[in-house]
Amino acid sequence: MIEATELTKRYGRITAVDALTVTVRPGRVTGFLGPNGAGKSTTLRMILGLQKPTGGGVTVDGRPVRDLPRGLRDVGALLDAADVHGGRTAAAHLSALARGNRIPRRRVEQVLDEVGLADAARRRIGTFSLGMKQRLGIAAALLGDPPVLLFDEPLNGLDPQGVRWARGLFRRLAAEGRTVLVSSHLMNEMAHTADHLLVIGRGRLLADEPLADFAARAATLEDAFMDVTADSAQYRAGGTR
């Protein structure tokens, strides 16, 4: 479980994340939805301890990530599929992560097969398409078989078959009792992926509810999403905070 309390991040006068209080529970796919620049990636990086909050805090299974002892065995994440060394092979990249986290070498082969990259294991990552890099990033997140998983825009670059595969994977992971948080800026992606939605706009939490309840507030999911994000923009423009 992930718990954020009054989580805040400021860069000078800019507030990227504004007193965010949410709980991401296991056993369901939680969609983290918001326009580009809404604060999603900053929030994920604070959850992982890669950025220090300006205020508030966040824990994973009751502890800050930096205090969790098992690395990728505790939390797996895909933040930026392109942030890998292009000269390494897929197998070498995952093997280095496995060694650093005391994960058996056989797990590398297992996750490459699971994400559909077994035949590309010896290829250099620099030759991969974006969709293949996304699959490799998902493999890295799965490497330690962790109970908590975070995916930042994981469907970008995937073909339709890949999108269906990823959605099925996220649902299976949640059905196994894991905590699964998936970010996106596209409502139609979340409509087919998430069970529960956290909607964020300009750093503020706008909605925290089951997908079905969110959808019931408007004629379409896109309408509901546009309504809450428009409300956020109007709130900020009014200078009430």
Number of domains in the chain: 1
Closest CA to 11 of 39, 30, 32: 39
The overall pTM is greater than 0.85: yes
Contact yes or no for 159/131 (Cβ under 8 A) = yes
**Residue 225: predicted pLDDT:** 59
* Inside any domain, residue 129: no
C-alpha separations of 170 from 157, 183, 225 in Å = 17, 12, 22
Q: What 3-state class would DSSP assign to 173?
A: helix
**Residue 195: predicted pLDDT:** 95
Tokens at 55, concatenated: 């205020």
Tokens at 88, concatenated: 């390494």
**CATH of residue 228:** 3.40.50.300
Closest CA to 125 of 95, 155, 156: 95
Instruction: Give me the average pLDDT of each 10-residue run along the chain (241 residues).
Output: 98 95 98 92 96 97 92 95 93 96 96 97 96 97 98 94 96 98 90 93 92 74 58 41 33
* Inside any domain, residue 121: no
* Inside any domain, residue 231: yes
β pairing state of 2-11 and 14-24 = antiparallel
* Inside any domain, residue 72: no
Closest CA to 91 of 122, 131, 49: 122
Range of the domain at 190: 1-61+178-236
Closest CA to 41 of 29, 52, 32: 32
* Inside any domain, residue 74: no
List b or e across 150-172, with b for residues whose CB sees 16 or more CB atoms inside 10 angstroms.
bbbbbbbbbeeebbebbbebbbe
* Inside any domain, residue 152: no
Name residue 116's amino acid: G
Cβ–Cβ contacts within 10 Å for residue 132, how many? 21
Instruction: Quote the DSSP letter at residue 53.
Output: -
Q: For the chain, first and last CA: distance in Å? A: 30
Tokens at 39, concatenated: 């604060």
* Inside any domain, residue 3: yes
**Residue 239: predicted pLDDT:** 36
* Inside any domain, residue 100: no
**Residue 221: predicted pLDDT:** 54
